Amino acid sequence: MEPVTVARALGMILHSYFVLCIMSVLSAADECVKVDSCTCKTSKHTINLHPLSADPGPRFTALGKSNDKYFYNPCKDFTEGTVSGVVIQEQAGVYYINGDDNTATFSGDPELGTLLLTYQHTDGSLIRHSKIRLLCKANTDELVFNEENPKVNYHFTLYTQHLCFGGQGQSGGLSTGSVLVIIFFVSLLVYLIAGIMFLKFVRKAEGTEMIPNYEFWTAMPSLIREGVYFTFRGFKTEATYEKI
């Protein structure tokens, strides 16, 4: 078989494998549907953050850059300084509302570690957003400020025991897609190491000749492009032929 044909066949196999991994990840996702500002449900679990709420609040404080402080009270607006909201920022003695409780939205799958709780607040023509990633951590309830990116979009991580299922320290296990990806990269690593050793010590190859199926790897960019086109065409070949 010609090297180009072999490379094309390997490229299609590789592309099909990645498509399978992506489809497995997407099919495994179980979106958490909002019930109220502190509760959402998947097909298997109910996420209830009401135990984290403090009265009068706030429950959590996190330090940001330049000594900024962020206050958060799940489920209920609170007052800090001269303003009231569910997420409040203190910057040089001035207080800003970065989220209101009635704007809470959930997205993502808690078992995949992608659950996100988002708030917003309209300040004149400016809309501030607070995005809180929820992760399981046994016997812990802690808010961590991550970054402001882009401007007036604030990212946090909330580690909480109320996201741990079955008393475990981590939420869920590896999805089918994750397992397939791990198997693929481990197999690829073994293939490369074994191939290089065989070509070097058995066939006495040197330089680029030591790389297994070198023609395939050099043709990879064009093969990926063909695979993408193939996917967007609905896995159908083009109905065109070269003129003789």
* Planar angle of CA 102, 107, 113, nearest 5 degrees: 130
Domains of the chain, start order: 3-25+174-232 (no CATH), 31-163 (2.70.130.10)
3-state secondary structure of 203: coil
| Closest CA relative to residue 89, chosen from 141, 146, 154 | 154
**Mind listing the pLDDT tens digit of every residue in the chain (244 residues)?**
454 454 455 555 555 555 555 555 544 568 999 999 999 999 989 999 999 999 999 999 999 988 899 999 999 999 999 999 999 999 999 999 999 999 999 999 998 899 999 999 999 999 999 999 999 999 999 999 999 999 999 999 999 999 998 644 334 455 555 676 788 788 878 878 888 888 888 888 888 888 887 777 787 777 777 777 766 666 566 555 444 4
